[in-house]
Amino acid sequence: MTDSPKTNLLGMTRQQLEGFFTAMGEKPFRAVQVLKWIHQHWVEDFQDMTDLSKALRERLAQVAEIRAPEVVYDQASADGTHKWLLRLDDGNCIETVFIPEKDRGTLCVSSQVGCALDCTFCSTARQGFNRNLSSAEIVGQLWLANRRLAPERSVAGKAPERVVSNVVLMGMGEPLLNFDNVVDAMRLMLDDNAYGLSKRRVTLSTSGIVPAMDRLKETLDVALAVSLHAPNDALRDKLVPINRKYPIAELLDACRRYVREERHHQRITFEYVMLEGVNDSPEHARQLIALLRDVPCKINLIPFNPFPETRYRRSGDAAIRRFQEMLANAGYTTITRRTRGDDIDAACGQLVGKVADRSRRALRFARLEGTGGTAP
């Protein structure tokens, strides 16, 4: 006879924890106490939760645990960026990146092991796909980052300073294809008894899963970024194949619904990777200007970050500057993202982790490379 597995409390929302304690015969308010210990003090030993009775701490140690992914390595870039390789229980690995800036600390979080989509300019897509991350594995990345980067641990009951001020779900995977677990993790990020982040400081990035965008609009109010990368369907079909299912017109309609009247203060961020000779011409800029005319938005231009065997090249500085100037002159708030962490392969589009590929996509790419072919 084997012992029953312990319940991991790390990914439980306040409501879920209340149900957990009620089932134990405890008062629901225990949930808030434990939430604060886990997510504000980063405690992983129940014996350190000093405002719980000794008997309750012993019961929790028997039936529950606080378990985050294992850090395999922590690599620091010359510009201060950190990349962690995290091992999961099944042996798969994911990557998480922390980007420090003067006025913020941004954590780029993964939501899947690999990616189920097939964007041709992204190294994660080439690794194939294994599974969705649990809510504990998602929020565990934030828990670990704060714990490892904090200048000091909790002293005399005072929570240590949190280094991460912004979270972007822009790491490995398509967040909206792991909807429930991603939403639970974001609820913890927003909960004042956990991380207490502003809804404008939690951003979900999607390639355009239209039904899930509408579901998110009705479920949780967070910032939304859309990986657009092309101003017309013919080109986007090649770069972002999910466009064949949800073409640009449907995607933009979903974006307009997301910034409905009661969210009038919100804008969609459109992400646009700059690929030399592919999507960076003045004509592409003119098409983009016309396409987004009635969508409240800002545009984030991302210089392409190369990876082994890619057929794409980064647009030149002059081409990016010209593209940005055309958008700005048309009235769009346009930012060219500064490449961070590319010396440790931590820049946008470079995360790969270690994926036991169930989609066989990695094998397909290997065969194409062996025959001199190119992926679709």
Active-site positions?
Answer: 95, 348
Q: Whats the size of the chain, residue-wise?
A: 376
For residues 192, 48, 82, 75, the Cα torsion angle rounded to the nearest 10 degrees is -160
Whether 160 contacts 143, CB under 8 Å: no
Cα radius of gyration rounded to whole Å, the chain = 22
**Nearest-angstrom CA–CA distance, 109 and 223:** 15
**Nearest-angstrom CA–CA distance, 349 and 346:** 8
Give the end-to-end CA distance of the chain in Å, rounded to a whole number: 51
CA 14 → CA 76, 175, 256, 302, 344, distances in Å? 34, 21, 31, 37, 37
Encode burial over 275-299: b for 16+ CB neighbours within 10 A, e otherwise.
Answer: beebbbeeebbebbbebbeebebeb
**Nearest-angstrom CA–CA distance, 211 and 219:** 12
Whether 94 contacts 353, CB under 8 Å: yes
> For 254-259, which contacts have Cβ atoms below 8 Å and span 24 or more sequence positions?
254/208, 254/210, 254/213, 254/214, 255/213, 255/224, 255/226, 255/295, 255/297, 256/294, 256/295, 257/213, 257/214, 257/217, 258/213, 258/214, 258/216, 258/217, 258/224, 259/295, 259/296
| Beta-sheet pairing, 93-101 with 104-108 | antiparallel
Whether 86 contacts 93, CB under 8 Å: yes
Whether 316 contacts 288, CB under 8 Å: no
